[in-house]
Structure 1
Amino acid sequence: MTEDFDNTAEAIRRLQELQSVRLSVGVPWLNNHLNMIAMVQEYGKTIVPVNRQWLALPTPNSGDKRPADFQNLFFMLGKTADQAYLAMPDANSGFKIMFILRKSVVIPPRPFLRYSFNHHLGRWTELGADLAFKCMVGQIEPKDVYSVLGEAMVKDIKQTITDFSTPSNAPLTAKNKGFNDPLIDSGELRDSITWITERI
């Protein structure tokens, strides 16, 4: 009976320790650039020019350069008032388009975090409950609960980013990237997904 009482007290202590920590999973808080990218992808955004009339969207012809990096660009109107181009002379075709000009660009939502939460919450909950039980009976330590659960959540979110396909990239974006993978360009966003624990 005394042994049972001692085990119960230890189980309660372990449970209280688990409840004193919060697990957070996602993009690192201190990386403002990646947080901005994650928010835009998650909720979508309409981008408009701030200090100029047009947004300049690079074509593969421009490489990694900006309009200011070219000396001989000229302006061409498109078929409608909200379309235009920056081009430069070309000996073969007469000109080649370097930048597509638009009044705005709409980035559609690609909610990889909400998708992961909605599709994996049940499994995460079951895993968390199983780990908490193992912790309470002394099979694992409290810190192991969060490391195993955090890694599982990170893996699932990264897989969601890899598999996400709809809505796809705009044709120009896919052409510039060389592939059509809406949530992956360099892979920096996916690779940044991590977990941390905080005392509460």
Structure 2
Amino acid sequence: MDGMSGGDKLMEHLKSITKGLSSGDDLKVGFLEGAKYPDGTPVALVAATNEFGGTVKIPAHTRDLNFYVRRDGVSRFAKPSKANFAQSVMIPEHIVTIPSRPYFRKTISEHGPEWGGELGKLMKANDFDARKSLALMGERIKGQIQSSIIAFSEPPNAKSTVDKKGFNDPLIDSAHMLNSVDYEVKE
């Protein structure tokens, strides 16, 4: 705050601060409306299922199994690029159980108590510009949620999931959910 003298200047400055604080700006951080996977599934639905656990009904579908068949007739499963034979199989409808992986609640419990003080410091550093301060706070919380998603490891993926993905990172597959964490400041 600039040095100032006189009651009128002080009142004018306080009014400008009050106007900025009472602008009605609102910060939302997480998986915002409209974020979807390429197949149209809302990211928030997948994120909530990962956070709280649940069951997912997988509809019946066909899948190609790829094999490499040697000249002597012995075959083994193979990646599509290494296969010389493929067979389509019907996989019946089934239920997959997703365990709770509370990455979001962990972020809130670890960092939430600091957010009020951090926002206060940002407000002061930004001359009480609420919109700018909330945007900076949104960026900070977004990063904290993403860090929690990356660091989360328990419970681990099922062996079948690890085999399919090629790695055991419970909350990351395509990184679409991770990259969909966002924030918005609305009036």
Instruction: Give the TM-score category using the shorter length.
Output: 0.7 to 0.9
What does the per-residue CA deviation read over 1:106-142, in whole Å, with 9 as the maximum and x for residues that have no partner? 110112211111111022222112123344xx3x633
Partner of 2:74: 92
Distance 1:89 1:6 in 2: 79
The count of aligned residue pairs is 164
Q: In structure 2, which of residues 160, 165, 183 is the aligned counterpart of residue 177 of structure 1?
A: 165
Distance 2:172 2:31 in 1: 14
Structure 1 159/89 Cα, relative in aligned 2: closer, same or farther at 3 Å?
A: closer
* Moved beyond 4 Å, runs of 4+: 87-90, 93-96, 98-103
TM-score normalised over the length of structure 1: 0.70
Partner of 2:113: 122
Partner of 1:84: none
Kindly state the Cα deviation for residue 12 of structure 1 after the two structures are TM-superposed.
1.3
Partner of 1:78: none
Q: In structure 2, which of residues 35, 38, 51 is the aligned counterpart of residue 31 of structure 1?
A: 35
| SS of 2:33 mapped into structure 1 | coil
Residue type of the alignment partner of 1:112: Y
Give yes or no for contact 2:27–2:135 (8 Å, CA) kept in 1.
no
Distance 2:175 2:20 in 1: 38
Residue type of the alignment partner of 1:3: K
Distance 2:144 2:77 in 1: 47
Residue type of the alignment partner of 1:147: A
Partner of 2:16: 10
TM-score normalised over the length of structure 2: 0.74
Does 2:152 match 1:164? yes
Residue type of the alignment partner of 2:151: D
Residue type of the alignment partner of 1:111: P
Residue type of the alignment partner of 2:52: Y
Distance 1:100 1:174 in 2: 19
**Share of identical aligned residues, percent?**
26
Does 2:140 match 1:131? no
Residue type of the alignment partner of 1:144: K
Distance 1:99 1:109 in 2: 30
Residue type of the alignment partner of 2:147: Q
Kindly state the Cα deviation for residue 41 of structure 1 after the two structures are TM-superposed.
0.5
Which runs of 5 or more residues in structure 1 are unaligned?
A: 57-65, 71-86
Which runs of 5 or more residues in structure 2 are unaligned?
A: 1-6, 79-88
Give yes or no for contact 2:155–2:170 (8 Å, CA) kept in 1.
yes
Give yes or no for contact 1:15–1:132 (8 Å, CA) kept in 2.
no
Structure 1 47/9 Cα, relative in aligned 2: closer, same or farther at 3 Å?
A: closer
